[in-house]
């Protein structure tokens, strides 16, 4: 039965993609199942399908508060929440990018939430931005809400008049259609592009795909979230910082920290390229103290370029205060440039401003450079 469905769908698709091969396969399999009594030959069928419109109602108060009923549902509810959140967001992003359309995850999640409230009140299946169903609509040429309205109309007709014939549909037909949709969702050119551009993200994607196949979707989503967080933390732990120097033409230019250099006589501009938090505070401290280590030209000002810093946690604030005090003992003043208002408030609250002084903040590198030369002249 599966081979027959594959032949029908793939064969008709080779003839013309506009031909609804999946629909023809479903109708043909139902007719074949009824005429030849396939169930008697060991073919598993879908079985009776409830007909009619769903009834809107609330669960009884006792049932909704019974721990014996609610507690076993919590794990399944959380799994469904994770799957709906991750699959819907990923599906929306993927198809919006494919057709260069605007995508708003908040709007999508609001719609999903309202739809699931309705599903809960009507006792129907949970609502999800399913990649397989989206691919079915996309492959059929659906590009607007009209396809959803047409689908809703067809479902209504089936529920009212056609649930009887659905009972004769073989399970293998559904499985084969979903399998073909899943195959279409595997984007090998996209994976090769990820491998070339971001190998680390490729291995996260590949491992997640393996978990989907070998274990399950829910577990794969949790694994993907954990691996993504680990990858993000690793990038924050090891940021690509630099030292800003002036070129012979008078332009500012970042160079590697290991190379070092002065933006002006006695002035080091250290550009930190990530938020400051507990994982990378040691990196900041080590590089700052290494750059200002007494060796040849005396450093007078150590300027932190905070343009890329958008957050400073408690540990990082304490570290900045400690570094500022250590540098002060070497007659080196620590200042900041291009710090946004949010980070400035964090530095004020963490006591860094009290150590470096309220006049240690500059809007531009030019301003910091001019002031450093005026003070040290």
Are 224 and 290 found together in one domain?
A: no
Q: Is 323 in a helix, a strand, or coil?
A: helix
Domain assignment present for residue 304? The answer is yes
Identify the CATH number of the domain in which residue 286 sits: 3.30.750.24
Residue ending a domain, choose from 222, 237, 252: 237
Are 320 and 366 found together in one domain?
A: yes
Contact (Cβ atoms closer than 8 angstroms) between residue 108 and residue 129 = yes
Are 230 and 347 found together in one domain?
A: no
Domain assignment present for residue 138? The answer is no
Cα gap 79→244, rounded to integer Å: 48
Contact (Cβ atoms closer than 8 angstroms) between residue 276 and residue 241 = no
Average pLDDT of the residues in 202-220: 88
Structural domain including 69 reads 60-129
Average pLDDT of the residues in 29-47: 91
- Vertex 316, ends 310 and 317: CA angle to 5°? 90
| CA 249 to the chain's CA centroid | 42
Averaging pLDDT over each range in 66-80, 202-216, 342-356, which range is the top one? 342-356
- The pLDDT value recorded for residue 296 is 61
- The pLDDT value recorded for residue 377 is 62
Distances from the Cα of 127 to the Cαs of 80, 89, 92, 121, 208, in angstroms? 10, 13, 14, 13, 23
Cα gap 305→242, rounded to integer Å: 10
Q: Is the pLDDT of residue 291 over 90?
A: yes
pTM above 0.85, yes or no: no
Question: Quick one: pLDDT band at residue 128, thresholds 50, 70, 90?
Answer: confident
Are 259 and 177 found together in one domain?
A: no
Domain assignment present for residue 137? The answer is no
Number of domains observed in the structure of the chain: 4
Cα gap 128→88, rounded to integer Å: 6
Q: Residue holding tokens 């309205």?
A: 149
Contact (Cβ atoms closer than 8 angstroms) between residue 252 and residue 244 = yes
Instruction: Report which of residues 62 and 199 the model is more confident about.
Output: 199
Domain assignment present for residue 275? The answer is yes
Domain assignment present for residue 256? The answer is yes
Q: Is the pLDDT of residue 270 over 90?
A: yes
Residue ending a domain, choose from 213, 237, 261: 237
Are 68 and 93 found together in one domain?
A: yes
Are 122 and 67 found together in one domain?
A: yes
Contact (Cβ atoms closer than 8 angstroms) between residue 166 and residue 46 = yes
Are 247 and 277 found together in one domain?
A: yes
| CA 359 to the chain's CA centroid | 40
Domain assignment present for residue 212? The answer is yes
Are 23 and 154 found together in one domain?
A: yes
Instruction: Report which of residues 320 and 166 the model is more confident about.
Output: 320
Are 263 and 317 found together in one domain?
A: yes
Which phi-psi region, left, alpha or beta, contains residue 250 (left: φ > 0; alpha: ψ -120 to 50)?
left
Cα gap 82→44, rounded to integer Å: 31
- The pLDDT value recorded for residue 47 is 87
Are 178 and 221 found together in one domain?
A: no
Average pLDDT of the residues in 320-330: 94
Collect contacts of 233-237 with beta carbons under 8 A, ≥24 apart: 233/279, 235/274, 236/274, 236/275, 236/277, 236/279, 236/280, 237/279, 237/280, 237/283
Average pLDDT of the residues in 136-148: 80
Are 181 and 191 found together in one domain?
A: no
Are 40 and 72 found together in one domain?
A: no
């Amino acid at each position: 039965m599966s081979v027959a469905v594959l032949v029908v769908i793939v064969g008709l698709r080779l003839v013309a993609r506009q031909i609804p091969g999946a629909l023809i396969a479903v109708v043909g399999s139902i007719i074949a199942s009824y005429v030849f009594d396939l169930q008697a030959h060991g073919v598993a069928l879908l079985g009776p399908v409830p007909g009619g419109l769903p009834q809107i109602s609330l669960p009884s108060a006792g049932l909704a508060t019974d721990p014996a009923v609610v507690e076993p549902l919590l794990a399944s509810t959380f799994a469904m929440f994770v799957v709906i959140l991750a699959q819907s967001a990923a599906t929306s992003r993927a198809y919006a990018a494919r057709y260069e359309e605007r995508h708003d995850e908040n709007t999508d999640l609001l719609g999903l939430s309202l739809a699931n409230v309705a599903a809960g009140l009507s006792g129907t299946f949970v609502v999800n931005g399913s990649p397989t169903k989206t691919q079915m609509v996309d492959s059929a040429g659906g590009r607007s809400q009209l396809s959803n309205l047409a689908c809703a109309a067809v479902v209504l007709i089936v529920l009212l008049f056609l649930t009887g014939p659905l009972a004769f549909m073989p399970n293998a037909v559904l499985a084969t259609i979903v399998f073909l949709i899943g195959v279409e969702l595997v984007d090998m050119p996209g994976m090769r592009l990820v491998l070339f551009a971001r190998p680390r993200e490729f291995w996260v994607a590949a491992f997640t795909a393996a978990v989907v196949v070998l274990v399950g979707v829910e577990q794969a989503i949790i694994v993907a979230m954990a691996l993504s967080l680990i990858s993000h933390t690793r990038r924050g732990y090891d940021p690509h910082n630099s030292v800003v120097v002036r070129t012979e033409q008078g332009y500012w230019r970042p160079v590697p920290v290991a190379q070092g250099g002065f933006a002006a006589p006695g002035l080091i501009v250290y550009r930190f390229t990530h938020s400051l938090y507990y994982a990378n505070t040691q990196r900041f401290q080590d590089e700052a103290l290494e750059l200002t280590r007494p060796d040849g030209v005396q450093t007078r000002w150590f300027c932190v370029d905070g343009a890329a810093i958008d957050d400073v946690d408690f540990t990082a604030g304490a570290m900045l205060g400690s570094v500022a005090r250590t540098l002060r003992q070497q007659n080196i003043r620590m200042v900041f440039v291009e710090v946004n208002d949010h980070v400035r408030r964090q530095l004020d609250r963490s006591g860094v401003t009290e150590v470096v002084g309220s006049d240690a903040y500059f809007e531009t590198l030019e301003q910091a450079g001019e002031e450093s030369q005026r003070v040290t002249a």
